[in-house]
Chain A
């Protein structure tokens, strides 16, 4: 018997491995958390407002009230995640003190620092971060992120940005894998990511951490689409609780993610789900209000 080690990379990245093939759902009350767990969510994201409401109401979006986060932790047996603002390491310290299972350093909230992200190695609790391309994903991993999610455009119900980002990340990984070793130095420079990490991705053909997709997933078919494009799992934010029948839609998305290559299952589970969230076309969102552009 030797030492017992907490908060190691293996332990942090390991929890994300256990979430693969699953759906992580945004919830704003313990009641919604209960519906999400009953529907088969693999984890929940506890927050005060879903991205669609943050977008509609405007203003500064911050970490949620600890009372709300604790009430949600008390309600469910699955892991609970919560969001800190980009660069706001004190919000992250608070979330770690509240014993959330994962912190999302999220562009959905208003950034607290327009230069630096949180030094995530300084924490025992693992972090998930958003990325729109491979370089951004590798910079977040360099800072200690134990899980990556492609960003998409949160709160729109428009899956096009999610598709763009997951394609970008996986496409760039394939390009790296096809390169000669002597080309990886320049690739690292162009990706603005450390050479060692770039070389590892080129050799293994994948990120060293789990890659989920987020932002704009509203239907079972949307979820299966990003899974077929190579996501390990899906975050659904506004798509569930901004729809007509949340419990039914949540269960349908869970089923579609588990059977993402089976069109018969996806067809069956897409029937009679009631109204989907209304949605906004990303093209109609003025550039300053696009959340995916936060983070660098």
Chain B
């Protein structure tokens, strides 16, 4: 039996993740409930607004089961807001904002400023050696503190860390699902 990859589908660009996962042959489904989560062996947390994904994950009671699965070692990949959801600490959080945690990093929300500062560029990515990754940053966060057990996979020329991995958890500030570069998703499926 092939494994099923879930995409948290509460808010944000979850359809783009489903599309890119299916394009590389994965069996991808939307996850909205604890019952959906039970069907998957991996999870992607999409881009969106972290404040909204946080609230909805608590309202629909998937937050605690996701935290539990993260502790049990389920591979999880978060893009942008998804990376914020995986951080142990959030910079610039809204009052009362919560997240799933799991990765020993501090992530600064909206670190570049307004939408005018959003950009796309090509980045070297450790583990994807053939060519640079096409990276789209949209009101993106950066990783401002990297814990001892966290591996930095990609940084901007100024040193800002924008892709990290800690064991079963992967996070990028940027959106490969928007640029259509499927290699980061392939990397995730091979984790």
Q: Which residues of A contact B (CB under 8 A)?
A: 1-8, 10-11, 14-15, 17-22, 37-38, 40-43, 73, 77-79, 96, 99-102, 124-126, 254-255, 258-259
Contact = CB atoms under 8 A, between A and B. Distances in A.
B116 A40 contact: no
Contact of A124 (B47, B59, B116): B116
Contacts of A22: 11-12, 48-49, 52
Contacts of A102: 115
B128 to A, nearest CB: 14
B48 A79 contact: no
A102 B116 CA distance: 9
A254 B120 contact: no
Contacts of A124: 116
30 contacts: A1-B157, A2-B122, A4-B120, A6-B116, A6-B117, A8-B119, A8-B120, A10-B120, A10-B136, A10-B178, A10-B179, A11-B118, A11-B136, A14-B138, A14-B175, A14-B178, A15-B138, A17-B47, A18-B48, A18-B81, A20-B13, A21-B14, A22-B12, A77-B51, A77-B110, A100-B115, A101-B115, A124-B116, A258-B11, A259-B60
B113 interface: yes
Given A40-B56, A254-B52, A17 B120 contact: no
Contacts of A77: 51, 92-94, 109-110
A54 to B, nearest CB: 26
Contacts of A7: 116
Contacts of A125: 115-116
Interface of B: 9-16, 32, 47-49, 51-52, 55-56, 59-60, 80-81, 92-94, 109-110, 113-124, 132, 136-139, 157, 175, 178-179
Given A78-B51, A99-B113, A259-B32, A18 B80 contact: yes
Contact of A17 (B13, B93, B110, B137): B13
Nearest to A99: B114
A2 B121 CA distance: 7
Contacts of A5: 119-121
Nearest to B118: A11
Nearest to B9: A21
B76 to A, nearest CB: 19
Contacts of B123: 1
A79 B11 contact: no
A18 B11 CA distance: 8
B115 A15 contact: yes
B81 A1 contact: no
A96 B47 CA distance: 24
Contacts of B32: 258-259
The 8 A-B pairs at the shortest CB distance, nearest first, are namely A101-B115, A99-B114, A21-B11, A17-B13, A4-B121, A14-B138, A11-B118, A2-B122
Contacts of A40: 51-52, 55-56
Given A18-B48, A18-B81, A255-B56, 14 more contacts: A1-B132, A6-B117, A8-B119, A15-B115, A18-B13, A19-B49, A20-B48, A37-B94, A78-B49, A100-B114, A124-B116, A125-B116, A126-B115, A254-B56
B139 to A, nearest CB: 7
A43 B138 CA distance: 14
A17 B109 CA distance: 18
A41 B52 CA distance: 7
A21 B120 contact: no
Given A1-B132, A14-B136, A14-B138, A6 B47 contact: no
A273 to B, nearest CB: 16
Given A7-B116, A37-B94, A258 B49 contact: no
B175 to A, nearest CB: 7
Contacts of B114: 73, 99-101
Contact of A79 (B92, B115, B132, B136): B115
B132 to A, nearest CB: 7
